[in-house]
Structure 1
Amino acid sequence: MFHETQAAGPPVFSVVVPCYNEELGIDEFHRRISLVMDGLGRSWEVVYVNDGSADGTLIRLEALRSADPAVGLVNLSRNFGKEIALTAGLDHARGEAIIVIDADLQDPPEVIPELVTVWESGYDMVYAQRRAREGETWLKKFTANQFYRTMQRVGGVRLPQNTGDFRLLSRRALDALLLLREHHRFMKGLFAWVGFPSQAVLYDRAPRHAGSSSWNYWRLWNLAVEGITGFTLMPLKIATYLGLGVALFSLFFGGQLVLRTLLFGNRVPGYPSLMAVVLFLGGVQLMTLGVIGEYLGRVFNETKKRPLYLVERAIPSQVSLLPQAQPSRVA
């Protein structure tokens, strides 16, 4: 049966949920999201994206799809990463307003009515801003805070502090976002880049409901690199300035050597100081090449024109069947 609030026609709300190894908590998430969305009194669907999970997540999603017509399922052909999985879900969302949320229940679904209220007042982007981050170590909080500070100072877009993917987008904001098809995706930056009137809603982040996060510090570091290199050329500028600084230092160092030779004669310098200079210059050169390589690698990946993802199968929700069936998009 359809939910009591559902009606014929396209849904008003689409909830997009990327999933990776969420077998233990997906049932509780669906129970809570259903209660919240039913309470809004308008038609809705939820689009679950299985990002190549290695546990029983797909089985649980298939069971939810069979039991609840509000559930749509997009199963990717393999694991493409959260940013790509989120893009796949947004591609398949059909609502007038689209809500992005993770399945781990750290972002409480009960905040969604507040997002909807702000959206109804005329905002195209309503992002949930963390007031407290329960269940996270001080190191993760500190590094996250430093990353947001860095992006605020050097990024080409204004990234809201303590804001993740949990947000509501209007249809026109989503249509603008879907025009951006780069492979190295930092969704928080892309959300900010499209602009449109935006407003924050403060909330307290909860601990993870079940299972363990797949986001270790190495993956978070790589995501930070994606964000920085995707929205600013500052690393290249730093490499340029560092090279200029080393060149000036070398000029002054060489000058004082010439002066000392003229005044005190040619004394053979020590081996340790020579090795220190060689290793310093070599380190600067390798670091500069690494920065250039990061940007060059991104250009290389973009020029290959591969699709962002491949869909093994996509089953739309039955809440809002359109007059013509929409084919699964491979983007």
Structure 2
Amino acid sequence: MDKISIIVPCYNEEKVLPLFYQEICKIFAGMPQVQGEFLFIDDGSRDHTLDILQSLVAQDTRCRFLSFSRNFGKEAAMYAGLQNAQGDYCVIMDADLQHPPSLLPEMYRVVRDEGYDCCAGFRQDREGEGKMRNFLSRAFYRLMDRICNLEMRDGAGDFRMMSRTMVQAILQCQEYNRYMKGLFSFVGFDTKWIPFHNTPRAAGETKWNLRSLFRYALEGIFSFSTAPITLVGVIGLVLVAAAFLFGMGLMVRGLIWAGTVNGLAVVVDVLLLLSGLQFIFLSIVGQYITKDYMENKNRPVYIVKRSGGTVKQNHA
């Protein structure tokens, strides 16, 4: 009998966790041919999420949890879940029910019978999202498609069922700065996509505002693309060429119309322009240096403070 591990990152999800548990139990009640494991990762929640998880573990032997010592982020929570999951197939899904549990039987059929290593869901619309957020999200995926040698489609998220072989491949990528959407594409393997409609959260509030989404987008760009560094070099060459042509023009103008060029104004303007560009470029280069700095520290991706159930504790 196959075992399916449901990995659920949780951060302040006290309002929606009981609803999620009810829905996931209904789905597995209709799948008697498989065993279920519900692995919840409490990512340093500040509400009663941990209390609810302890209650679920006490009443259902399929439930397990890991509770972090602080908020390490969703990427670390997903990594911890994959490290500690015991199933033949692993599913990553959110607790807010925006990832439809009703798709799980079809996902299992695909990876079991059709030869795919992964079956992933993607949102075919963004109903209910703000226009600005919708526009920025689409623009980000178009940008990633251009500058990264990875297949990352608009609407694709973390919701997917993976074979044990694919999970092991992902766990071999042990970098500290993790961008799971990029890692899913990086490791390859055959993936079948199942569309679903966007739905609002069942309860509670989203943890993703424009600021956090912007930081997440930068994480993806700097983790899987060297295009910003290349762009710096290209702009540098363009500026050198422009400065050369501009300087030649000033020299010609000074020779023909003596005294018509204000040299001090030109120098000040050029210095301000180049100084501003230097700060921008240093910021881009600094992103890469910072990531290399963090990798060399070899810090743990997460730290477990408490656990429930028979969960093996890996802290790498």
Q: Give TM class, smaller chain.
A: over 0.9
Partners of 2:207 and 2:265 lie apart in 1 by: 45
Equivalent of 2:107 in 108, 115, 119: 115
TM-superposition CA deviations, 1:138-175 (whole Å, max 9, x none): 11111111111111111131112210100111000000
Contact 2:250 2:261 in 1 (8 A): no
Partners of 2:152 and 2:134 lie apart in 1 by: 17
TM-score (ref. length: structure 2)? 0.96
Equivalent of 1:53 in 42, 45, 57: 45
One-letter amino acid of the counterpart of residue 76, structure 1:
F
Equivalent of 1:164 in 143, 157, 175: 157
- Alignment correspondent of 2:229: 236
- Alignment correspondent of 2:25: 34
- Alignment correspondent of 1:151: 144
Question: What SS does structure 2 have at the residue aligned with 1:22?
Answer: coil
* Pairing of 1:1-331 with structure 2 (within 5 A): 12-41=3-32, 42-120=34-112, 121-269=114-262, 274-316=267-309, 327-331=312-316
Partners of 2:296 and 2:50 lie apart in 1 by: 33
One-letter amino acid of the counterpart of residue 247, structure 1:
V
Unaligned runs of 5+ in 1: 1-6, 318-325
Unaligned runs of 5+ in 2: none
Partners of 1:49 and 1:208 lie apart in 2 by: 19
TM-superposition CA deviations, 1:194-248 (whole Å, max 9, x none): 1011111111121011111111111111111110111110000011111111111
Contact 1:135 1:208 in 2 (8 A): no
One-letter amino acid of the counterpart of residue 19, structure 2:
E
Partners of 1:17 and 1:204 lie apart in 2 by: 20
With 241-250 and 105-114 compared, the bigger mean Cα shift is at: 105-114
Question: What SS does structure 1 have at the residue aligned with 2:125?
Answer: strand
1:268 Cα shift? 4.2
Contact 1:108 1:205 in 2 (8 A): no
Partners of 1:193 and 1:39 lie apart in 2 by: 34
Partners of 2:306 and 2:203 lie apart in 1 by: 27
Question: What SS does structure 2 have at the residue aligned with 1:209?
Answer: coil
Give me the CA root mean square deviation. Answer: 1.5
Question: What SS does structure 2 have at the residue aligned with 1:213?
Answer: coil
Partners of 2:22 and 2:169 lie apart in 1 by: 31
TM-superposition CA deviations, 1:30-78 (whole Å, max 9, x none): 1001111221221111100000001110011111111111101111111
Question: What SS does structure 1 have at the residue aligned with 2:161?
Answer: strand
Question: What SS does structure 1 have at the residue aligned with 2:177?
Answer: coil
Question: What SS does structure 1 have at the residue aligned with 2:197?
Answer: strand
Percent of pairs with identical residues: 36
With 22-31 and 115-124 compared, the bigger mean Cα shift is at: 115-124
Partners of 2:268 and 2:259 lie apart in 1 by: 19
1:272 Cα shift? 5.8
Contact 1:14 1:94 in 2 (8 A): yes
